[in-house]
Amino acid sequence: MIQETTFQFLRNLEKNNTREWFNDNKNTYEYEKANFVDFCSELLEGLKLIQENLLYTDVKSCIFRINRDIRFSKDKSPYKTYFSAAFGPGGRSSGQIDFYIQLQDNETMLGGGMWQPTAENLGKFRQEIDYNPEELKNIINSDNFRNHFPEVHGQELVTSPKGYSKDHPEIELLRKKEMFFVKKFTNGEVLKKDFTEIMLTHCKVLKPYLDYLNELFEPTK
């Protein structure tokens, strides 16, 4: 389970986001990262029971580096102030829509869905909404899904996309440029002994939407 010391380390890192401080506290970082990896390992074992293509995925391949890519960023802080991981077949670089988790002080979250899709995949999404909107709507409008993920996130067009009428009955979905769902957790929730089970419950609810997207975006053979 996640320890309070992990949040304390992340708070300290946020206040002292320099390479000098990080190097001076490298041992603490390694200890707290190990706590996060242990949690992810337990979560991954639970995910393997609901998603067969994760069966041979190693937890270390799911963990993101804490170093930030600052090449094109005005913010030159060298480190992220959170631990993060993505659970797809083979790890974080699966190329599929996967479960993403981020452990951060007062901002811990689970997320997944259509985020920054390619033009091709966005076209597939809109075409499917045009032809068969009910499959997606049955997933995201179910009471169980809405209870766990009540809010849709992501960018959308102000007007209708090219090729679709502004009077289209599914225009709200067609305007989506992104469509992902997020569940945030308080520190108190994260520190509970049953937090892994809580996270798995939300993953099970999110899974049908991720499966829908992965099937839709599967490359044509």
Q: Model confidence over 161-200: pLDDT tens digits? A: 999 999 999 999 999 999 999 999 999 999 999 999 999 9
For the chain, domain boundaries = 4-217
CATH no., domain 4-217: 3.30.930
Alpha-carbon span 69 to 49, nearest angstrom:
34
Q: Which two tokens stand for residue 172?
A: 């709200």
Q: Write out the H or E segment, with its range, that includes residue 208.
A: helix 195-217
Dihedral angle of Cα 28, 30, 33, 35, to the nearest 10 degrees: -80
Alpha-carbon span 25 to 177, nearest angstrom:
41
Name the residue type at position 143. D
pLDDT band of residue 220 (cuts 50, 70, 90) is low
Which residue in the block uniquely carries the two structure tokens 């997933």?
139
Spatial CB neighbours of 3, under 8 Å, sequence gap ≥ 6: 32, 35, 191
At residue 72, the pLDDT reads 78
pTM over 0.85: yes
Quick count: other Cβ atoms within 10 Å of Cβ 103?
A: 22
**Looking at residues 119-135, what average pLDDT do you find?**
97
